[in-house]
Amino acid sequence: MILKTALRQRLPAKLLFSLALLTVLLFGPMLNASKAHADEFSLADQCPPSFALDRDNRCRMRNLYQLYDSLQERGLGGLKTALPKHRDGFSPQQIDLGRLLFFDPVLSADKNLSCGNCHNPNLGFSDGMARSIGAKGQVNERSAPTLWNSAFLKVFFWDARANSLEEQALGPLFAEHEMANTPQQLLASLKQIEVYPALFDQAFGDSGDSLVIDNIVTALTAFQSSLISLNSPYDRYAHGDSKALNEDQLLGLNVFRSFVARCSQCHMPPLFTNQQIAVIGTPEPTGLARDIGAEKTFSSRQLKGGFKVPTLRNIALTAPYMHSGRFATLREAAEFYNKGRGHAVPEGENLLLHWHISEPNLTDTELDRLVDFMGALTDEQFMPNIPQRVPSGLLNNTTNGGLVIAAGEQP
Amino acid sequence: MNSKFRIVLIILIFAGGWILGSNQNVAPTITNSAGGASYSGGYQAPSISGDIGAVPRRPNEGQVHIVNPGDSIQAAVEIAQPGDSIQVMPGTYSETVYIDKDDIHLRGVIQTGQRATLDGLGKLNDAILYSGNNIIIENFRITQYKGNGIMGQAGNNFEIRNNVIVDTGIYGIFPQLGTNGLIEHNVVSGIEDAAIYIGMSDNIHVAYNEVFDSVAGIEIENSRHAVVEHNNAHHNTGGILAFVTPGLPIKTTEDVIIRNNFVLSNNTPNFGAPGSIVSGIPAGTGILVMAADDVIIEGNIISNNKTAGIIINDHSYASTITMDEDSDPNADRTMILDNVMLNNGYDTIPQVTALALTELHTGPIDIVHAGPSNGSCIINRHRYRAVGIGNYTECDFTNTDSIDSYLLVGGAKPRIIKPSERGEIAYLGVCTGCHSYTGRLIGPSVQVIQAMYAGNPQGLVDYINAPIKKRDNFPAMPAQNYLDAETQMAVANYILAVEN
């Protein structure tokens, strides 16, 4: 919570706006309770920024990295390297419906939690918490990852147990400790809302029975894969603006990609992840047992304590860090790698640590510069519009997100 | 050893001797490698023959920037334009040089044996980093860096030659994620991992280098289409390696020719960092092929490597590597042509001894293949003391004379993007964050811009290069001068024509 506050202090305008909206919400409960009228919601017929509409009414991603190639077309390398293959080809209507669903608490069993609670756009599409809180107040086992640039990912969840955004979406929707819904109840609640069946027909064809689980997760996928963040100061540097990084950030870039720190060997540009599993041996929060991570996914003892390498794009927005939020700041996270291979692995515990976990002996100054560089990976230029109202009429009433309160349509 | 086991062993060894003896009575198949068919597999696109080079020749030389002792090499890199060369005069320079632009030739000047020396003083991380394409780095002496001597990150078409790299951190020369590179005439020693390490790269030529006193001499890892020839790899822990390391994002090593190298006395105790992949290499390894496919070993002189001259194994024999279901663990289609092998495997490791005993082999070992293998072959097998090659067939070729190199004619080509597509990419990828077609977003609408610059794309180019604040209630626009001229004009034309 301290971090979340700190973040807001850097954004005073947003904070004031948030407070203003909060006031409106507190004193306007009648407004919140009423259900939406059909004519209040119409789906966009244009693609979000960074997408071109093709002749088949599909949105196709465009970004400057498409000017470049990559070895074996894997989207890994250095500055002017193409990105990994991405998901696109959804219609503007599907993306827009996904946006409404994403922010609608009707998706959870008790209608109190939307996707946007744990993936809050104002917190880098994460939630500022070490481990996220479920619909019934339970503390989950891992932290909520950012959704920026998830169009480029091929595995999902910290333990890499899902292979598509669709498969991923089914997880939290129906997990007892997350949104706790069931397919039957979810469909029933959406069908009860006057607007939704029509919106699904609009997005998925006029069949009359398009409100099905498959289309729900498709729409959520469409929206999430539209969240593109590729215009950070680092990106400007990569495309050729040698002044886009300040001196400290540039020094940090050279530490980051050096073979002493080796950050870029796993957090590999241009996505800042190589999408592999790495066992790095971070300590768990006090009192928690070792999270075995990918050992379970792949039934491999060698991967005990292994997790998917996360992207570092927008990382400055998503403290705390690591799978269970053990480190409060980027400085602490960077220090972890400098303290020696296996320093936090309890004696007698046998982990097959990644070969790049070494003893770089970076100076304090170099660690500071690394943090400076990671700050240059922030870009929220293509922030989507966050709906002020959602078709269920349910405004977010949970205490942990403050999502709808903190956001609004662009004035 | 208990006595019963000892008796069984003696009987086995005796039986083995009888079997081997009987084999020796059969006249071996002798293949003359001076004639016969050449290898017909391998990289099939046109490749370079004769005077090989990886960086396309410049039609015109740009400016030459001279760096003298006391000056900063990086300062010269920053003012250099693509097409320029930088000449560094003899003397000592302590800095990290990074080249994030294309077509720069960085040369040390050697005067009467004195070189331009990059000295990391035991404190600096890497000596030279490059990410640009068409980079040449030559004639330096590099010492005392913590990380790498010369490291490439995704630059294509590179030549790294005639550098002397001594006692420098992890890798001496490490191009990564690049296509089309030539590494030749370098002398690299005292490296705690690989002296020359080709990582996740394609179309590589490594020739005429001397690598010694390092953990690994030359390592080809998760890379394809590489020729390693005429090198001298001596007094390392392992001489020349072709590896698939699991857990890396690019998964294969294929089509590697290791030929005409000296691989001598690689018996240096392993001093690799704990947990590093090479820390598992047994001292006394000549050539090691782990999980790599289509590797040809030809014409090498391999001698005095105490564990074995050539080891081929799958991932199950490596203790330091992780599990990766996308990584094929087996070394398939190993092809061993004529090599001169002398006095190898005379003091080997227990795993090799155990494997040898299953074939009733005792004594020194030139070649050992551990783990499954499909489609491997050998010629003149009777010359070698070999274990685990029972399923190797006779190769249907005897040499690789048909292949000079796997370098690409004219270099790796950049992606060709039509101007119309460039315009759309830049407009949607950058501009739409602040400009929508109708109505204000952060900047004015595209319609307003179209009205101002109708028929005047150059005016729009001039503005995005050096924007001036025009409207009091709008934020200033950041300059888009990092886009190249072609892309700037393309995006200006696109904006003026776009209809929604």
Residues of chain B contacting A70 with CB distance shorter than 8 Å: 154, 177
pLDDT band for A236, please (50, 70, 90 cuts): very high
Closest CA to B217 of B227, B206, B226: B206
pLDDT at B417: 86
Percent of chain B with pLDDT over 70: 94
Decide if A258 and B147 are in contact by the 8 Å CB cutoff: yes
Is B154's Cβ below 8 Å from some Cβ in A? yes
Element (H, E) at A196: helix A195-204
Residues of chain A contacting B131 with CB distance shorter than 8 Å: 78-80
Q: How far is B178 from chain A (nearest CA, A)?
A: 7
The interface residues of chain B toward chain A in range 429-468, judged by CB-CB distance below 8 A, are 429-430, 432-434, 441
Closest CA to B282 of B370, B217, B348: B348
Candidate list A73, A178, A247, A332, residue with the active-site label = A178
Residue of A nearest to B482 (CA): A241
Decide if B323 and A341 are in contact by the 8 Å CB cutoff: no
Q: How far is A11 from chain B (nearest CA, A)?
A: 16
From the DSSP assignment, how many helices (H) and strands (E) are in chain A?
16, 4
Q: How far is A166 from chain B (nearest CA, A)?
A: 22
Q: pTM of the full predicted structure?
A: 0.88
The interface residues of chain B toward chain A in range 389-428, judged by CB-CB distance below 8 A, are 414-415, 417, 422, 424-428
Decide if B250 and A353 are in contact by the 8 Å CB cutoff: no
Q: What is the mean pLDDT of residues B439-462?
A: 91
pLDDT digits (tens, 9 = 90+) for A280-294: 999 999 889 999 999
pLDDT band for A36, please (50, 70, 90 cuts): low
Decide if B275 and A341 are in contact by the 8 Å CB cutoff: yes
pLDDT at B21: 47
Lowest mean pLDDT among A204-213, B15-24, B327-336: B15-24
Q: Residue A356 is encoded by which pair of tokens?
A: 């790049």
Residues B325 and A277: their CA atoms lie apart, in Å, by: 11
DSSP bridge partners of B36: none
Catalytic residue flag (residue A178)? yes
pLDDT at A261: 95
Residue of A nearest to B130 (CA): A78
pLDDT at A22: 44
Element (H, E) at B357: helix B350-358
Element (H, E) at A201: helix A195-204
pLDDT band for B414, please (50, 70, 90 cuts): confident
Q: How many CB pairs under 8 A join A and B?
A: 169
pLDDT digits (tens, 9 = 90+) for A284-333: 998 899 999 999 999 999 999 999 999 999 999 999 999 999 999 999 99
Residues of chain B contacting A354 with CB distance shorter than 8 Å: 247, 275, 322
Residues A148 and B211: their CA atoms lie apart, in Å, by: 45
Of B178, B415, B483, the CB nearest to A68: B415
Residues A295 and B273: their CA atoms lie apart, in Å, by: 25
Helix, strand or coil for residue B109? coil
Residues of chain A contacting B276 with CB distance shorter than 8 Å: 355, 358
Q: Which of A236, A258, A265, A297 to mutate to test the interface with B (most CBs of B within 10 A)?
A: A258
